[in-house]
Structure 1
Amino acid sequence: MLIWGWQKRIHTLAMITLICGRCGNPAAHALRKLVTKFTLFFIPLFPLSTKHHLECTWCGASSPVAGPQVPDLLARANAESMGPAQYQQPAAGGPNAQWPQQSAPHPNPNWQR
């Protein structure tokens, strides 16, 4: 008796902030890899297929990613994870310099300061 089949595994490679093509929100997207492996006696032996896709954490939409785009997305995720100290600071007198700093309105209009 020979038992064979396949096994699917999903690996989350990175989280990237992108604008979703479905909902239009700037939200985190999970870059995931789906690997299907051939199994013999429930032991995974070799991969049959590998697919990548992006999943929006806001609306749950999933879109396939071509293989050549994966390294670029991983590089972008690594740049985001470096934190704000690695990014260039905007120059003084940037595009919003003429606007006065205002506090955001409170969500409850009856609230008194």
Structure 2
Amino acid sequence: MIIFGTRGYLHQLAIITLLCGHCGNPSAHALRKRVVKFTLFFVPLFPISVKYMTQCTFCGAQQKVTAEQAGQLQAQAAQGPADLAGQSGQGSSPLGQQPYQG
């Protein structure tokens, strides 16, 4: 008898402040990575799918993002809010949402 299946993992990569495309409020967005792995005898072996998403902490709306966009948002979060203030007027985030310049 062979026991196999899948198991999902959810990793929070960053928290970044953006204007929500759904509710329009400047709020924190959680950048998350969901990985589904194939398991054999309850041992996770290899990933089957990897998806990235952001979730607004104000209204709860989720938006799927590509791996490239997730990398850009993660780099933007690593810069910190002090560095973002000096970049006003330079484009937008990969999601079409603007970084909040509080």
Question: Runs of 5+ in structure 1 lacking a partner?
Answer: 89-113
TM-score (norm 2): 0.78
Q: Compute the RMSD of aligned alpha carbons.
A: 1.7
Whole-angstrom CA distance in 1 between matches of 2:21 and 2:55: 11
Question: Runs of 5+ in structure 2 lacking a partner?
Answer: 87-102
Whole-angstrom CA distance in 1 between matches of 2:69 and 2:4: 33
Q: Which entry has the higher C-alpha Rg, 1 or 2?
A: 1
Paired letter, 2:3? I
Question: How many angstroms does 1:87 deviate by?
Answer: 5.8
1:37 aligns with 2:34: no
Per-residue CA distance 1:17-48 (angstroms, 9 max, x = gap): 00001110000000000000000011100000
Identify, as 1 or 2, the structure richer in strand: 2
TM-score (norm 1): 0.71
Whole-angstrom CA distance in 1 between matches of 2:83 and 2:71: 23
After TM superposition, the structure 1 = structure 2 runs for residues 51-62 of structure 1, keeping only pairs within 5 Å, are 51-62=51-62
- RCO greater where, 1 or 2, for CA within 8 Å and sep 6 or more? 2
Q: 1:70 to 1:18 in 2, by over 3 A?
A: same
1:24 aligns with 2:24: yes
Deviating above 4 A after TM superposition, structure 1's stretches of 4 or more consecutive aligned residues are 85-88
